[in-house]
């Protein structure tokens, strides 16, 4: 089985950044770039320690080992209401010599625009609802001490957003997954994942359209394997939104803890780094 059952932060901004920055956005000052990189490094220093639990073994059970999750997301917009996504997201567990490749393709429909002072190039943050359908494949590339796995997954999700006082953006993502374990012994399960999240964007340079967005969230996972809520996730992270090329980039660092309630209590600390590229 796949070692963690992760979800991505819900990153999926005044007027459209491509319009707001105009021709000036293509000639940013070097100091703006340096500020963006410095802000991201500072955020990393704040986020990464949260991945470690001082003594989680008493409540959470034994650790299954630190997981490292780099990720690349490529978005292509088709008009203002649709976009396509290609995602690559491997997982590494050094303590178990385990490695897993992940890849997925998705199509999304963005509904009900609303105004807001956001600079992020992710236009989904200016939609009250987005609906996404897609498929993912997660084959093991190095079994280590965990064994082989080969999971095919079909996904359907809906994310709703609302603005709160203080320019806080609240989101709730609901996802249904159909998962086939193709490696022996084969199996099939359904999962329901509910993920609330809070975030707040802080502008770095309105002229360049750059910003820094801290976020925190949780996730509750129900599965037919146990017919119960079997997993819980806590998540914190930081996103740097910039417009270097294409229609923009979001660079994210995050830390989370997956708590497995069934079949036995355990936990996995996770460190992630994500590049979102928009075209």
- To the nearest 5 percent, what fractions of the chain are helix, strand and coil? 15, 55, 30
Residue 59: enclosing H or E segment and its boundaries? helix 57-60
d(CA 231, CA 216): 18
Instruction: Summarize pLDDT for 162-191 with one digit per residue, the tens.
Output: 999 999 999 999 999 999 999 989 999 999
Confidence of residue 247 (pLDDT cuts 50, 70, 90): very high
Instruction: Summarize pLDDT for 57-82 with one digit per residue, the tens.
Output: 556 788 889 999 999 999 999 988 99
Residue 195 has pLDDT above 90, yes or no: yes
Q: Which of 95, 97, 76 lies closest to 87 in space, CA to CA?
A: 76
Confidence of residue 24 (pLDDT cuts 50, 70, 90): very low
Q: Which of 36, 41, 72, 69 lies closest to 276 in space, CA to CA?
A: 72
Give the CA diameter of the chain: 58
Domains and CATH numbers, the chain: 17-278 (2.40.128)
Confidence at residue 168, expressed as pLDDT on a 0 to 100 scale: 94
Q: In this predicted structure, which of 20-24, 122-126, 214-218 has the lowest mean pLDDT?
A: 20-24
94 to 31, 67, 82, 236, 237: CA distances (angstroms):
38, 7, 38, 22, 22
Residue 20 has pLDDT above 50, yes or no: no
The DSSP result for 95-106, as a single string, is GGTEEE--EEEE
Confidence of residue 215 (pLDDT cuts 50, 70, 90): very high
Decide: 155 and 193 in contact? Cβ < 8 Å: no
Residue 204 has pLDDT above 50, yes or no: yes
Confidence at residue 59, expressed as pLDDT on a 0 to 100 scale: 63
Residue 33 has pLDDT above 90, yes or no: no
Confidence at residue 113, expressed as pLDDT on a 0 to 100 scale: 87
Instruction: Summarize pLDDT for 249-276 with one digit per residue, the tens.
Output: 999 999 999 999 877 789 999 999 999 9
Q: Which of 213, 173, 169, 214 lies closest to 193 in space, CA to CA?
A: 173
Confidence at residue 15, expressed as pLDDT on a 0 to 100 scale: 36
**Mean of all residue pLDDT scores within the chain:** 84
Q: In this predicted structure, which of 43-52, 217-226, 258-267 has the lowest mean pLDDT?
A: 43-52
What pTM does this model have?
A: 0.79
According to DSSP, the β-strands at 98-100 and 210-223 are: unpaired
Confidence at residue 79, expressed as pLDDT on a 0 to 100 scale: 85
β-strand partners of 273 = 70, 253
Q: Which of 63, 109, 69 lies closest to 89 in space, CA to CA?
A: 69
Residue 22 has pLDDT above 60, yes or no: no
Q: Residue 140 CA to chain centroid, in angstroms?
A: 21
Confidence of residue 102 (pLDDT cuts 50, 70, 90): very high
């Amino acid at each position: 089985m796949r070692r963690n059952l992760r979800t991505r932060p819900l990153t999926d901004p005044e007027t459209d950044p491509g319009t707001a920055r105009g021709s000036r956005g293509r000639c940013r000052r070097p100091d703006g770039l340096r500020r963006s990189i410095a802000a991201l490094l500072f955020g990393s220093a704040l986020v990464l320690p949260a991945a470690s639990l001082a003594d989680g073994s008493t409540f959470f059970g034994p650790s299954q080992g630190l997981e490292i999750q780099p990720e690349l997301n490529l978005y292509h917009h088709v008009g203002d209401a649709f976009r396509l996504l290609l995602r690559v997201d491997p997982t590494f567990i050094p303590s178990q010599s385990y490695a897993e490749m992940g890849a997925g393709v998705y199509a999304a429909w963005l509904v009900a625009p609303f105004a807001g002072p956001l600079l992020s190039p992710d236009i989904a943050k200016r939609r009250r609802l987005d609906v996404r359908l897609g498929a993912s494949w997660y084959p093991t590339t190095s079994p280590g001490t965990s064994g082989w796995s080969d999971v095919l997954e079909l996904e359907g999700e809906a994310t709703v957003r609302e603005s709160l006082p203080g320019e806080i953006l609240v989101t709730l993502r609901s996802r249904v997954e159909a998962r086939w374990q193709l490696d022996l012994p084969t199996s099939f399960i359904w999962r329901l994942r509910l993920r609330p999240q809070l975030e707040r964007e802080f502008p770095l340079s309105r002229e360049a359209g750059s910003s820094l967005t801290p976020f925190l969230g949780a996730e509750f996972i129900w599965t037919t394997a146990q017919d119960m809520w079997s997993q819980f996730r806590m998540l914190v992270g930081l996103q740097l939104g910039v417009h270097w090329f294409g229609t923009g980039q979001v660079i994210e660092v995050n830390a989370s803890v997956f708590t497995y309630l069934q079949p036995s209590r355990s936990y996995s600390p996770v460190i992630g780094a994500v590049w979102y590229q928009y075209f």
